[in-house]
Chains A and B, each alone.
Chain A
Amino acid sequence: MNRARGERDEVLLRAEGVVKHFSTGRRRSAPVVQAVDDVSLEVRRGETLGLVGETGCGKSTLARCLTRLYELTAGRVVFDGDDLTKLSRRELRPYRRRLQVIFQDPYGSLNPRRRVGSIIGDPFAIHGVAEGKERLRQVQELMDLVGLNAEHYNRFPSEFSGGQRQRIGIARALALRPELVICDEPVSALDVSIQAQVVNLLADLQSELGLTYVFIAHDLSVVRHVSDRIAVMYLGKVVELADARTLFEHPRHPYTAALLSALPVPDPDIADARRRILLTGDVPSPIDPPSGCRFHPRCPKARAECAVTEPLLQARSGDPSTHLTACHFPVADGDELALAARAEPPRTPA
């Protein structure tokens, strides 16, 4: 999305080696689900960082770690220079205003027993910002901002459609003018026709209010549409991180290539020419992830080494330093895998 170029390099949020394990039982020896394992990434002010991956790969867990809705097992989350992980709940409160979440389920994230006006007014009430008439005025302004009829503040969530409810969630998240908004699959529960409206609304709000987004989705085309940079996750790890265009045109990780090859292509000539990469097997259990590279049991390029050493997330030979891949044998541009992943005709120089 559009933003001033000069601001790009300021890091607003940095995750450093974030680990989140869930215990499956009370005993200390109970098996542990390694939902997020050693994830490091940066979110720069004003950008949209897309986070994609299959269901269960740890996207939402990572989002909850970033906002400290979950306590980290290890690692740090640094927001605008301050380490959030060490703060008590009280100390965290001022940061809550600057860091907001839009939730996935527009039905579950709104309290069914409360009127929309008081739901959107919650941030004001909790942080003691605006009272009475002033609060109502601001709530109505927010409703207007997200394209809701401001006169409906007295209604209940059940009286709104899915798309409208998601707008309510957006209004609530924007109430305190946050700097960073984490969108946890904000459109995946909506109809396709409504998805576009909400995505466009988010884009407009970003340019209007100068927001920074972490945009989580499992739908690659949505993520591509909104993101400046994209991180691909697999089984709790980031396997590839690059500019949106680079990732789509030069995928390096075989998993990314497989995801891209599954995208429908509007051009029938290309669709006929390319071959889908079919991954065999299921996603392994995060309780007992594979050794070495976690993707190796399903990877078409896997060799013996992949099962032994875990590849680091780093720039591979020939790639710019902004394109990081965690793979010993990355896909080269001319590979069969790269061709299968191609969604658009190769750009011909003018």
Chain B
Amino acid sequence: MSALPADLVETPPLDPERAIEGRSPWQLAWARLRRDRVAIACLIVIVLITVIALAAPLFVYLTGHGPNEEFQTTGLTPDGLPRPPSSTFLFGTDSLGRDVLVRVVYGARISLLSGVLASTAAVIIGVLVGLVGGYFGGFVDTLLARLMDVVLSFPFLLFAIALVSIVGPGLWISIVVIAFFSWASVGRVVRGQTLTLREREYVEAARSLGASDVRIMFVDILPNLIAQVIVYLTLLIPAAVVFEATLSFLGLGVVPPTATWGNMLADSLAYYRVAWWYVLFPGAALLITTLAFNLLGDSVRDAFDPRGDRLFRR
């Protein structure tokens, strides 16, 4: 229907074949991430740990040792002490004659499950609360911001101990506790971003088109802070893993005999002079997992924000 004069039509770019489909910020970030060797190494480690956790029953099949099976004769020295690593027990045994390898592998399941679930829940709650507070402002915002302040000022261990003494320990209660103490930090970041984003002209444009508040929040504002949320998520996962380990260590998390890295470390402390493997393997598993997630989180942040200084990057 248009018949514009030729001089009105801007000439198309010289090479229209090449770039008609623009690359999304995601594609650009992924392209940058792929060039980051540390990020790729971390990603491989994380995938490996996940595969191992998923394939835990395979380890039972291969070694013939159940995770909670106690080998009173083969797994303990005549003095009743743990046995060092050998061909039958690759990572040695613990104080009850159980296979440390199989238990570390089963512990990975608990760690990853609680880490991923708790931080995902925390991110979802944090994003919702932050978006609503930041977007609507006023009384709603004041209320939600104060709520986040309260949560952030809670002494989490005391709270966890009190809660567990009422409800009793368990995996799900640990996940709830971790999520409860993690969402507020996400909420704060999202709220702050939303406060600035809602003043952008494109939000006004959406409003002038008649878009609803929900649409503006999720279609116009959320995509602009999702990068930060992803970064936060990758940094929250290791924090949640450590959090879960702490709860288990204190006997507030998953109930023994179910293996977790936290309760293995707690049990091993009494034996660290005689059984280094008992401390080392669950500790190393915890360290490697959190380190991989943290380094990946840093790289993801760099990938989403290429302006950050590259001077000291690899």
| CB of B206 closer than 8 Å to a CB of A | yes
| CB of A24 closer than 8 Å to a CB of B | no
In the bound complex, residues from chain A placing their C-beta under 8 Å from that of B2 are 144-145, 147, 208
For residue B23, which residue of chain A has the nearest CB? A156
Which residues of chain A from 2 to 47 have a CB within 8 Å of any chain B CB?
none
In the bound complex, residues from chain A placing their C-beta under 8 Å from that of B24 are 115, 156
Most buried by B among A112, A113, A126, A144: A113
Q: Are A97 and B210 in contact (CB under 8 A)?
A: yes
| CB of A325 closer than 8 Å to a CB of B | no
With contacts A113-B25, A115-B22 taken as known, whether A208 is within 8 angstroms of B10 at the C-beta atoms is no
Nearest-neighbour CB distance to chain B for A183, whole angstroms, equals 13
Bitwise, B1-28 to A at CB < 8 A (1) or not (0) is 1101101111010001001111111000
Q: Are B209 and A154 in contact (CB under 8 A)?
A: no
Q: Are A113 and B223 in contact (CB under 8 A)?
A: yes
Which residues of chain A from 40 to 60 have a CB within 8 Å of any chain B CB?
none
Size category of the binding interface on chain A: 35 or more
Among B8, B208, B219, point to the contact of A197 (Cβ < 8 A): B8
Q: Are B210 and A114 in contact (CB under 8 A)?
A: no
In the complex, A208 Cα to B23 Cα: how many Å?
35
Which residues of chain B from 48 to 73 have a CB within 8 Å of any chain A CB?
none
Nearest-neighbour CB distance to chain B for A131, whole angstroms, equals 16
Size category of the binding interface on chain B: 35 or more
With contacts A154-B20, A155-B22, A200-B8 taken as known, whether A101 is within 8 angstroms of B205 at the C-beta atoms is yes
In the bound complex, residues from chain B placing their C-beta under 8 Å from that of A122 are 206, 209, 211
In the complex, A163 Cα to B20 Cα: how many Å?
18
B interface, by DSSP: helix, strand, loop or mixed? loop
In the bound complex, residues from chain A placing their C-beta under 8 Å from that of B16 are 149, 151
In the bound complex, residues from chain B placing their C-beta under 8 Å from that of A112 are 224
Q: Are B208 and A156 in contact (CB under 8 A)?
A: no
With contacts A111-B223, A145-B1 taken as known, whether A123 is within 8 angstroms of B201 at the C-beta atoms is no
Q: Are B224 and A111 in contact (CB under 8 A)?
A: yes
Nearest-neighbour CB distance to chain A for B1, whole angstroms, equals 7
In the complex, A49 Cα to B257 Cα: how many Å?
80
With contacts A111-B202, A197-B8 taken as known, whether A96 is within 8 angstroms of B224 at the C-beta atoms is no
| CB of A310 closer than 8 Å to a CB of B | no
In the complex, A105 Cα to B25 Cα: how many Å?
22
Among A105, A113, A127, A159, point to the contact of B210 (Cβ < 8 A): A127
In the bound complex, residues from chain B placing their C-beta under 8 Å from that of A303 are none
In the bound complex, residues from chain B placing their C-beta under 8 Å from that of A97 are 210
| CB of B204 closer than 8 Å to a CB of A | yes
Bitwise, B194-237 to A at CB < 8 A (1) or not (0) is 00000011101111111110010001100110100000000000
In the complex, A213 Cα to B211 Cα: how many Å?
22
Q: Are B223 and A69 in contact (CB under 8 A)?
A: no
For residue A200, which residue of chain B has the nearest CB? B8
In the bound complex, residues from chain A placing their C-beta under 8 Å from that of B206 are 122, 126
Which residues of chain A from 117 to 169 have a CB within 8 Å of any chain B CB?
122-123, 126-127, 141, 144-145, 147-149, 151-152, 154-156, 159, 161, 163-164, 169
Residues of B in contact with A (beta carbons under 8 Å apart): 1-2, 4-5, 7-10, 12, 16, 19-25, 200-202, 204-212, 215, 219-220, 223-224, 226
**30 pairs, CB–CB < 8 Å, chain A vs chain B:** A64-B204, A69-B208, A97-B210, A103-B201, A103-B205, A108-B202, A109-B205, A110-B202, A110-B205, A111-B200, A111-B220, A113-B224, A114-B223, A115-B22, A115-B24, A122-B211, A123-B209, A126-B209, A141-B1, A147-B2, A147-B10, A148-B10, A149-B16, A154-B20, A156-B22, A156-B25, A164-B10, A172-B209, A197-B7, A204-B8
13 new A-B pairs (CB below 8 Å) besides A69-B204, A96-B208, A114-B223? A97-B210, A101-B205, A104-B201, A105-B201, A108-B200, A109-B201, A109-B202, A109-B204, A110-B202, A111-B202, A114-B220, A154-B22, A164-B10
